[in-house]
Structure 1
Amino acid sequence: MVSFRSFLTASFVLASATAVFASPIARSSDLSARDTTEELGKRQGGCTTRLQRRAWHTLSDAEKKSYIDAELCLMWRIPQQTGLEASVSRFDDLVKAHQLQSMLVHGDGWFLPFHRLHMHAHERLLREECGYNGAQPYWDEEADAGAFSSSAIFSPTNGFGGNGVGENNCIQTGPFANYTLHTGPSYDNTDHCISRQIDDDASRGSSTENVNACLAEQKFATAWPCIEGSPHSGGHNGVGGEMGNAISSPGDPLFYLHHTYLDRVWWRWQQQSLPARLTDFSGYTTQDRPAGGWIDATLDDELNMFGVIANARIRDVMDVTGDLLCMEYV
């Protein structure tokens, strides 16, 4: 298993010898074969009513059930639509979009923009294909940092089920118990359970102190590595198991609440200096230096969603209140 503990150093060494990666970026200006953000905005008439993303603990039991039911719909009722290897359901499609390019959307400038679009994709599928009427919630991990094991989010009745048990650390309570994943662990495609190994000490990475340190950074060039550091690894390693795997972590439905929380941290950072931080973007396009030399990431890079939803340029996900994302955090 590839752990987030080694994520920012030699995180993909074990898998790189056999994996083949497709770049998530299409630098061509010819987008005629795909929906563009501009076309999407025109069809929808722009952003008129923003979705309101709220913390999980503020939702009513009925709202929580509605979200969980929609997630189960993606997992059990809606077949895959991408044709990607080992994908069976729409839930699998989302996992594959992360797995196939994980080496390229971590440890570089694409990390935050890609995951912002990935959360939007998940939100859209819940709403458009499974009848969910709400917005993607986030896990207020700062409130639970250092004590994940006692968090209400792991409730078996109105949460995501509890810790893993047994030899394989499979979860055995809650709505996702006995579910079979088809993608992962890591770059493998092997049927396996959703596993967890909750670690309260590791969850301290999500602390308010660590978040505030990232919010104090003055430029995106230093803010994104900070966010990808402790707050990011705190959530992944604090939950452990499938979530602790840098490649296939979307196999645990908690992934989407975790990364929506991280996206909120980024938006909080952006809000401190608007509109300047809507275009403050930098970094490279890969973790490691390519043979031909480093390539700077740009706002015009296109993020690849592997057909789950339309691709989008980074500049189109910089503003969460814009026509594409059309939401706000409350």
Structure 2
Amino acid sequence: MAYTRKNVNRLTRSERRRFVSALLEIKRRGEYDEFVHIHITHNSPDGEHHLRTAHMTPSFLPWHRKLLLELERALRRVDASVTVPYWDWTRDRTANSLPWTDDLLGGTGRRSDRQVMTGPFAYRAGHWRLTDRVTDVQYLTRDLGRARSPIQLPTGDEVEFALADPVYDVWPWNSTVTQGFRNKLEGWGKGRGSVSWHNHNRVHHWVGGVMLGAASPNDPVFWLHHAFVDLQWTRWQQRHSGGRYLPAEPPGARDVQHGRVVARDQRLPPWDVTPAELEDMSGIYRYE
């Protein structure tokens, strides 16, 4: 029977407590850091010449769907009542709204070093030391809204811009494409700085701190953010019935993207699963 992923603003106090407790437990066991390591390992940009799976590629959505599902399975081994909630950043748009409460994810970082000082994932609480990281900092950092150069979270209209595109992705299957649902949602745009950040990407920049790099899963909000991104893929599938993951076939030997993107029925590293097998999750979970 499929379980339900809820909007974080609809969690009861008990559900918040259970979710946090399960996260802290898999962190204590060392399981959590394995997910951070996987994300770091598969964070390959356009400029590299080997297979891209996690970002700047059609498999951005199924890859993160699988990572999220594996994290959720780890949580449910601790507490079968727990599912990953989603953060609707088109509605809960300030540093004072959910999920930034003391009983859930805590708030923004302090001005001096962006260290998070509140909530269960603050370093001083003693349960959340960053062990797999790309910097020397061992504590969780955030800069909600970018205090020195403020930006706004994406709006519903910006998400709708992605959802309205009936094609999943287009050649050359990377961060430069201007058509296709995948990159409009992932959010690589033209220009430099904040004008080039859209949807998924802009949320990472709005949160700031460790969410800016390959070790972004070190911030638990990563999972709530990607649950909402995953929900958009589900909504796109419902709106465009028959819309499928692309490319359906691997790029040919003379194609510049040969060996660099995962086709619909190819294995999606590091797992033994294909994008096609991840298109329909209705038998496992649903969104409320």
> What range is the shorter-chain TM-score in?
0.7 to 0.9
Letter in 2 for 1:197: D
SS in 2 for 1:171: coil
Letter in 2 for 1:225: N
The aligned residue for residue 73 of structure 1 is 25
Residue 165 (structure 1) shift: 1.1
SS in 1 for 2:90: helix
Match of 2:97 among 147, 151, 156: 151
The RMSD of aligned alpha carbons is 2.2
Letter in 2 for 1:315: A
Letter in 2 for 1:240: G
Letter in 2 for 1:68: V
2:250 & 2:130 partners in 1: Cα distance?
29
CA pair 239-51 structure 1, distance change in 2 beyond 3 A: same
1:268 corresponds to 2:235:
yes
| Percent of residue pairs bearing the same amino acid type | 26
Alpha-carbon contact 1:70-1:132 (below 8 Å) kept: no
The aligned residue for residue 293 of structure 1 is 256
Letter in 2 for 1:317: L
The aligned residue for residue 39 of structure 1 is none
Residue 210 (structure 1) shift: 0.5
Letter in 1 for 2:26: L
For residues 209-262 of structure 1, the C-alpha deviation after alignment (integer angstroms, 9 at most, x for no partner) is 1101111111001100000012202221111101122x1100001100000110
Alpha-carbon contact 2:145-2:151 (below 8 Å) kept: yes
The aligned residue for residue 190 of structure 2 is none
The aligned residue for residue 164 of structure 2 is 216
TM-score (normalizing by structure 1): 0.71
Instruction: Give runs of aligned pairs for residues 207-286 of structure 1, distance below 5 A.
Output: 207-221=155-169, 222-229=180-187, 230-245=198-213, 247-274=214-241, 276-277=242-243, 279-282=244-247
Match of 1:102 among 43, 49, 53: 43
For residues 41-97 of structure 1, the C-alpha deviation after alignment (integer angstroms, 9 at most, x for no partner) is xxxxxxxx1111111000101011100000000111x1xxxxxxxxxx111000001
SS in 1 for 2:91: helix
User: Structure 2: which 5+ residue stretches go unaligned?
Assistant: 45-51, 170-179, 188-197
1:320 corresponds to 2:275:
no
TM-score (normalizing by structure 2): 0.81
1:192 & 1:62 partners in 2: Cα distance?
29
2:155 & 2:255 partners in 1: Cα distance?
39
Match of 1:160 among 94, 105, 110: 105
Residue 298 (structure 1) shift: 1.1
Alpha-carbon contact 2:18-2:79 (below 8 Å) kept: no
Letter in 2 for 1:118: L
CA pair 284-250 structure 1, distance change in 2 beyond 3 A: farther
Alpha-carbon contact 1:109-1:283 (below 8 Å) kept: no
SS in 1 for 2:34: helix
CA pair 165-291 structure 1, distance change in 2 beyond 3 A: farther
Instruction: Give runs of aligned pairs for residues 30-179 of structure 1, distance below 5 A.
Output: 49-76=1-28, 78=29, 89-103=30-44, 104=52, 105-128=54-77, 130-145=78-93, 147=94, 149-156=95-102, 158-178=103-123, 179=128
Letter in 1 for 2:41: L
Alpha-carbon contact 2:245-2:275 (below 8 Å) kept: no
CA pair 57-259 structure 1, distance change in 2 beyond 3 A: same
For residues 181-213 of structure 1, the C-alpha deviation after alignment (integer angstroms, 9 at most, x for no partner) is 01123xx5x451110011164342x21011011
Letter in 2 for 1:243: M
